[in-house]
Amino acid sequence: MNQVIGNNEIYYMFTCPRMFYFFLQDETDNVIVENALENDRIRNVKDYFKNISWVDAKKNPEITKRTVKNEADILNPILEGSIKGINLKLAVHALIRKKDKYHIVLSHLSRRPSKRHHVIAASFIFLAKLNGISVSENIIFLRKKSMKTQRIKEEGYLLFLKTFREIANSQEPPPATGTRICNFCGYWEKCHSFNVDDRTKLPVSSIRGIGANMSSIMKSYGISTLGDLIDIPLKKELEEKLKNIIRYKLQAYSFVNDTALFLTKPDLLITNNDNNGVYFDIEADDSPYLFGFLQNDQYKYFLISDNDSRKSQIEDIMKYVEQLKVNLYHYCEYENRVLKELSNEWKQQFKNEGNGDLKNKFLKSFFETPMIDIYEIIIKNIFVPLRHYSLKSIAKWLGFKWRIGLDGRSSIQEYRRWLNTGNKKHLEALLLYNEDDCRATQVVKEWISSPSSFDHKHLILNRRDVDDILNRK
């Protein structure tokens, strides 16, 4: 194989074997996405070992080997080599020199080191030997302010080879698991392609809402696959024993047939539906900091912080919302809740300043602005042939493409980098991501309003249609 396996690929190997399978079948590097939390892990190393003067190898193999010769302590070391014909290029967070050996440092955010941490450590030890570097098998694992030393044996290296071979030799892609990395996966379209799997044979856990416990209960009724779930008659006993069985059967039918099911006519889904609405999305860290609005194809944003200008920032947002007089569309309830909280905060500020006559002005105006949660409409009225109903999943399915590879977690990192450095490129990335979230919301709203305008199969069901799908007895 020509592909080079790095830290990200090992992450995908254990987090989403299906993604790793597609990567091995491909000649291009579609999975290389920088882990947004790596800066936090490196910062954790520097904070814990404050007295060490580090040399930053910048994930460069030549700098790493050159620094090793000088016996210095190294941040961001990386080594490359081949194991059993598999090309590897692996980084660890640090190498600390103790006596005549280096000790590997791996910083992790999970409660305890996972399989992939052990695989990376064991494989890095192997690469170190290939490069003539003496490395201890005692690995330093850091989590926040705690440190644990653990001896890594050959099992991690053998687990890597076993897992790699199982996926590489598989005749079919592993089942889809559905994780947050779906949001920026380069194989999203291939993974969701109707022709990749015989969906009737997929386990019932492949669809939204069915976890391990419900899968086990269904199995006791002879329901193991989506085909079983669709075919089993809906008897009264089944309804009583299996909560939400109606939703599960409709979701399975939608997923297997790659067809959206509308339980309500599209023209009845949105009150006062017109084309002049505004699309709204918030980005947040510990608290909301970016409010984006898309109106008449023009993007407008507001930044909010906890400094002295917070009052005027909130006032600017509320005045903007107050003058809209059109539907304000958003995805999930968070945006609605945040605006209400800001309204109450602003109201309290007026009250504290003795402006009793004005305190309800913008609060009242805000509640006169119709806020419409597209996600709520979908989960109550529509079954979509997807594993997840996130904005990214549905908008991607409809053909929308984000212009930048961020998600909720990595956008927080961009925000923190902007705060720490003042570099406008991080703010520009955030604005582009937020604008695309607004535009994605618009695409999804347009689809639920007029599904026939999109090249995706859908059915508008009446009661008899629903009973036929449920196979009600």
| 8-state DSSP, 451 | G
pTM of the model: 0.76
Structural domains in the chain plus CATH codes: 4-168 (3.90.320), 199-257 (1.10.150), 278-458 (3.30.420.10)
Dihedral class, residue 46 (left if φ above 0, else alpha if ψ from -120 to 50, else beta):
alpha
| CA–CA separation, 284 and 299 (whole Å) | 18
- Is the separation of the CB atoms in 366 and 328 below 8 Å? no
- Is the separation of the CB atoms in 246 and 470 below 8 Å? yes
| CA–CA separation, 371 and 281 (whole Å) | 12
The per-residue pLDDT string of the chain (473 residues; one tens digit each, 9 = 90 and over) reads: 678 999 988 988 998 898 899 888 875 554 444 455 677 788 889 999 999 999 999 999 999 999 999 999 999 999 999 989 999 999 999 999 998 999 999 998 778 888 889 999 999 999 999 999 999 999 999 988 889 999 988 888 899 999 999 999 998 888 776 666 776 677 877 887 756 668 899 899 889 889 889 999 999 999 999 999 999 999 888 898 898 999 999 999 999 999 999 999 999 999 888 778 999 999 998 889 999 999 999 999 999 876 668 888 888 898 898 888 889 999 999 999 998 888 888 777 766 666 555 545 555 555 567 899 999 999 999 999 998 899 999 999 999 999 887 777 778 878 888 888 888 998 999 999 999 999 999 999 999 999 999 999 999 999 999 999 998 76
| CA–CA separation, 206 and 223 (whole Å) | 13
- Is the separation of the CB atoms in 138 and 149 below 8 Å? yes
Q: Which of 388, 447, 434, 448 is nearest to 279 (CA)?
A: 434
Q: What tokens does 169 get?
A: 């030799």
Long-range CB pairs of 240-247, under 8 A, 24+ apart, other chains included: 241/217, 242/214, 242/217, 242/218, 244/209, 246/470, 247/209, 247/383
